[in-house]
């Protein structure tokens, strides 16, 4: 019966992000937050594996005080408990720092068999945290996984590599990053939402994780994030019949290499 840890990140909801037309800077001031869509797949797969094989599921996140509201949502999706590393440093952490913190939290939590991560974060999509955690813990990492089976003390994972698939069999402990197609995350019922408030949450402070100053210093510093605007030709076809206008449109698209 495997002990599974599902990592997730609390990210801005992309539909609430606005663009300042004068500076092209992204405006997050009115953005609500949510569990990253990719990480919802990781949580769901952890719960599905638990239902088939028994064991336990722990949700793990690193965030600032605002991420505390994510715990109820995460627990309503099926994990039996949650670990929250609470520190304002999370707001400016890169993949290097995040992986160090999560790996340290995994060590502090005790024994584990499988760590599940999403394919990438919903905000940065760096795709680095999962493999970095595995490297720090000295365990195998299996990425781009579309199907998981547990057989005894082994994981049988189907990976998508380009236009091909491959099957990897790995003994516990192992880290797996899953693709969105692996499952369809559930919408928690009212009973599950209410039940989430009764599940245990363990809050860790960075000082408890015994990380060095270097391990908590970001290697990548983002100076600004700006939106991209594509210049459009805005060609309007008015002359001729409808058939002639369609023919002109098709001809221009072919000339531009679109068709």
Q: Are residues 104 and 187 in the same domain?
A: yes
Confidence of residue 182 (pLDDT cuts 50, 70, 90): very high
Q: Are residues 178 and 251 in the same domain?
A: no
User: Which CATH number covers residue 148?
Assistant: 3.40.50.620
Residue 221 within a domain: no
Contact 118, 177 (CB under 8 A): yes
Q: Are residues 8 and 136 in the same domain?
A: yes
Q: What's the domain range around 199?
A: 3-216
Q: Are residues 23 and 131 in the same domain?
A: yes
Q: Are residues 117 and 202 in the same domain?
A: yes
Q: Are residues 81 and 154 in the same domain?
A: yes
Residue 237 within a domain: yes
Query: Which residues make beta-bridge pairs with 86?
Result: 63
Q: pLDDT tens across 56-112, in order? A: 999 999 999 999 999 999 999 999 999 999 999 988 888 999 999 999 999 999 899
Write down the pLDDT at residue 163: 87
Number of domains forming the structure of the chain: 2
Contact 174, 63 (CB under 8 A): no
Q: Are residues 254 and 161 in the same domain?
A: no
Contacts for 230 with CB less than 8 Å, ≥ 6 apart: none
Write down the pLDDT at residue 4: 96
Query: Which residues make beta-bridge pairs with 154?
Result: 151, 171
Write down the pTM of the prediction.
0.83
User: Which uninterrupted H or E stretch holds 58?
Assistant: strand 56-63
Q: Are residues 241 and 127 in the same domain?
A: no
Q: pLDDT tens across 148-179, in order? A: 999 999 999 999 988 899 999 999 999 999 99
Largest alpha-carbon pair distance within the chain? Answer: 75
What the block records as the tokens of 132 is: 């970095």
Write down the pLDDT at residue 244: 85
Q: Are residues 252 and 148 in the same domain?
A: no
Which runs of consecutive H residues, i.e. helices, occur in the chain? 37-53, 70-76, 95-109, 129-137, 190-196, 242-255
């Amino acid at each position: 019966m495997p002990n599974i840890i599902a990592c997730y990140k609390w990210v801005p909801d992309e539909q609430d992000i606005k663009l300042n037309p004068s500076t092209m800077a992204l405006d997050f001031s009115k953005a609500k937050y949510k569990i990253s869509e990719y990480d919802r797949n990781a949580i769901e797969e952890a719960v599905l594996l638990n239902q088939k094989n028994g064991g336990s599921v722990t949700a793990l996140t690193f965030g600032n005080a605002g991420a505390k509201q994510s715990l109820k949502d995460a627990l309503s999706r099926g994990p039996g408990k949650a670990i929250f590393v609470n520190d304002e440093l999370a707001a400016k952490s890169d993949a290097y720092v995040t992986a160090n913190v999560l790996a340290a939290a995994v060590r502090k939590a005790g024994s584990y068999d499988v760590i599940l991560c999403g394919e990438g974060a919903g905000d940065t999509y760096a795709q680095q945290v999962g493999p970095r955690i595995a490297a720090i813990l000295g365990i195998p990492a299996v990425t781009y996984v579309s199907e998981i089976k547990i057989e005894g003390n082994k994981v049988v994972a189907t990976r998508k590599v380009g236009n091909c698939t491959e099957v990897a069999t790995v003994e516990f402990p192992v880290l797996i990053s899953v693709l969105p197609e692996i499952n369809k995350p559930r919408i928690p019922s009212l009973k599950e939402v209410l039940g989430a408030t009764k599940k245990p949450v363990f809050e860790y402070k960075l000082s408890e994780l015994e990380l060095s100053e270097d391990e908590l210093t970001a290697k990548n510093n983002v100076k600004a994030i700006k939106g991209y605007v594509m210049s459009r030709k805005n060609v309007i076809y008015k002359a001729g019949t409808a058939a002639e206008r369609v023919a002109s449109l098709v001809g221009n698209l072919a000339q531009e290499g679109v068709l």
